[in-house]
Structure 1
Amino acid sequence: MNYRETQPERTDLPLVVIPSMFAAMAQPLATGMRILRNVARVRTYHDFNIEPETILERCKDADIVVVIGFHVTGDLLERLGSHVRCFVFGGTGVANFIDLKRTRELGIRVCNTVHYGDETVAEYTFALIFELARSVGAMDRGIREGNWSGLEGTSLKDKTIGLIGFGGIGQTVARIAYGFGMHTLVWNSHVNAATARSLGATRIESIGELMAHSDIVSVHLPLNDETRAVITADDLDQLKSGSYFINTARAEVIEPGALAARLDRGDIKAAIDVYDKEPLPADDPLRSTPHTVLTPHVAWRADDAYRDLSRQMARSILAFCNGERFNVVE
């Protein structure tokens, strides 16, 4: 048996299946799901396996499915939709993982999780910025290979950071940037003027204008119909030589192929944590573009985020079982 199930004898209770998970989430999930005792059985698989046939087999008896890292679209949704009545997504950007139009048609509830990674992703954004500015990882590799020459760095003080997106993560990045003595520009379809002022941020009317005036550009947009490909090749052309581009949000908010083409010019640096296809294919052009730092979609993966994520998922399940609503995607 490669799973653990709470209250297996309670076959009168609805079955929650967590078919795939990261090892580090095991304890936070176990703790969070305790509120479901005598409400639902919870069957947890403790490996990260997102093969569609595996997901289908593991979820064949499920009433509620927790979605971590796999996509619920097409054939997978049609086959699960005959018995699953609720999907609880372990992350944000649910539209990139679950076909919301089809789940609505099938009458299946979808729940999101919100703001669990605001601090975690913002902190990771600065980890990436520092790697571009100070090359700590590169120098570590160099010294292990016998290279003591080191590399030159760039100070962040008085630099301008442009934020595309100004929700919880973007605002947290602005707060950190303010502490470093940076200037902040923001573009977002809805920017609260008072919030921007309190964080020392200035609203910019267009993405291209923001890029033209920023030393560092960081993306913090959710993926939806309005934001898909909202950052165009023309926008990226406005990036100044020597500037940095950071994306810890979603790759699909950028026009397909535009970022790799801009990086091929070799005059900017980029740090990227999200991709059109994940895992990143061996032949993806980003693997060979110059001056890039690539990480495997891990900005959100930290202890506090796991705990908050688990609590929210458990609350969504509890609400569904009790005929209530929590974090329901409309």
Structure 2
Amino acid sequence: MYPPMIGISLILRVLVPWQDLVDELTLPGIEPILWHIDDDPHDAPEADVLVTERPSNPRLRSRVSRIKGLKHVHLLSIGYEWVLEHLPKQVSLTNSKGAVEDATAEHCLALVLASLRQLPRVGQQQRERQWTRTWTSSLHGSKVVLLGAGGVGSEIRSRLLPFKPAELTSIARAERVHEQGYPVHSFNRLWAILPTADVVIVALPQTPETKQLIDAEFLSAMKNGSLLVNVGRGPLIDTEALVQELQSGRLHAALDVTDPEPLPAHHALWSAPNCIITPHMAGDTDQFIALVSELAVNQVIAFAHGEKLANRIIN
């Protein structure tokens, strides 16, 4: 059914986090082994390939570096910054680009709408059985700044446009015309438009350049009553500075990612006013699982037969 295995041992040992992947990868020449980087109490057994989620516990990330015989890591996510310092030399890396963008963009839109239309407040009124009409802001007519023009940023933009924002400005590191035909401005443009933005959406990857990009100076430049949404990475925002702005009542926020993460139970961000927090769940949909699983299976089979891998980060 499959072409001969090339350049690796007769049996390819593959660590996978879900039983469904074990079932799908039980194929000639492949030995799937159930092991979850978060949940298994022991380090991984020797293996050629690791298919893994991003561990929720940062202390467990180093487990990747201790896998004997490892040749390739495939991530069930787009983000890969967490694994780089733990990736042994000569180990290749791929991610799940193409499988998570739609789910993340959909969740981002939900956060924006829930915050602008004050759904948490209305939900509380429902629990208190209060019939009180609430006047809100909306995407329609708002000025939106979108930080990020990659796969996630592009999908977010396409979902925002039907809501007829007054302005929708995409910003990324380099100025260019996006392949879809719209202009992408550089960060130099940000400071001119930030004070007029009603909504600022963060969909950037975590890099040394973007870490704490949204600092006290950035937040102070946002206009009163504006909304900050983060579906990128938690460390892109100075959490302490954001908490201060929220506690003052000046800004609103909707966050799928935080710093630290997981957010400790005692953290001030939990009780900050005008803040929606979801537990890094933007990609957690049934459709995402189906897409990411299909990609993982195809990647493992391709690796087993010496074929070209999709989404290579490190060769």
**Normalising by the residue count of structure 1, what TM-score does the alignment of the two structures yield?**
0.81
**Would you say 1:37 and 2:27 are equivalent positions?**
yes
| Helix, strand or coil at the partner of 1:262 | helix
1:128–1:102 distance in 2 versus 1, CA, 3 Å:
closer
**Would you say 1:92 and 2:84 are equivalent positions?**
no
1:78–1:213 distance in 2 versus 1, CA, 3 Å:
same
CA contact (8 A) 2:11 2:31 kept: yes
> What is the alpha-carbon distance in structure 1 between the residues aligned to residue 99 and residue 226 of structure 2?
30
1:63–1:203 distance in 2 versus 1, CA, 3 Å:
closer
Structure 1 residues not aligned, in runs of 5+: 1-10
Number of equivalent positions? 302
1:115–1:261 distance in 2 versus 1, CA, 3 Å:
farther
**32, 51, 60: which one aligns with 1:66:** 51
Amino acid in structure 2 at the alignment position of 1:69: R
> What is the alpha-carbon distance in structure 2 between the residues aligned to residue 252 and residue 234 of structure 1?
16
When the two chains are superposed, the root-mean-square deviation of aligned CA atoms in Å is 2.8
1:195–1:184 distance in 2 versus 1, CA, 3 Å:
farther
**Would you say 1:329 and 2:290 are equivalent positions?**
no
1:173–1:78 distance in 2 versus 1, CA, 3 Å:
closer
Amino acid in structure 2 at the alignment position of 1:276: D
Runs of 4+ in 1 over 6 A off after TM superposition: 200-204
Q: Out of 286-295 and 111-120, give the one that drifted further.
A: 111-120
Aligned to 1:6: none
> What is the alpha-carbon distance in structure 2 between the residues aligned to residue 75 and residue 124 of structure 1?
30
| Helix, strand or coil at the partner of 2:248 | coil
- 1:19-168 mapped onto 2 (5 Å cutoff): 19=17, 29=21, 33-34=24-25, 37-44=27-34, 50-51=38-39, 54=41, 56=43, 59-70=44-55, 71=58, 75-80=62-67, 82-96=68-82, 98=83, 100-104=84-88, 106-168=89-151
Once the two structures are TM-superposed, the CA of residue 119 in structure 1 deviates from its matched residue by 1.9
> What is the alpha-carbon distance in structure 2 between the residues aligned to residue 148 and residue 140 of structure 1?
11
Structure 2 residues not aligned, in runs of 5+: 1-8
Amino acid in structure 2 at the alignment position of 1:143: Q
CA offsets 1:236-270 (integer angstroms, 9 cap, x no match): 11111011100011011224533223323211111
- 1:219-298 mapped onto 2 (5 Å cutoff): 219-255=202-238, 257-298=240-281
Once the two structures are TM-superposed, the CA of residue 201 in structure 1 deviates from its matched residue by 7.2
| Helix, strand or coil at the partner of 1:257 | helix
Identity across matched positions, percent: 23
1:191–1:132 distance in 2 versus 1, CA, 3 Å:
same
Aligned to 2:14: 16
> What is the alpha-carbon distance in structure 2 between the residues aligned to residue 126 and residue 60 of structure 1?
41
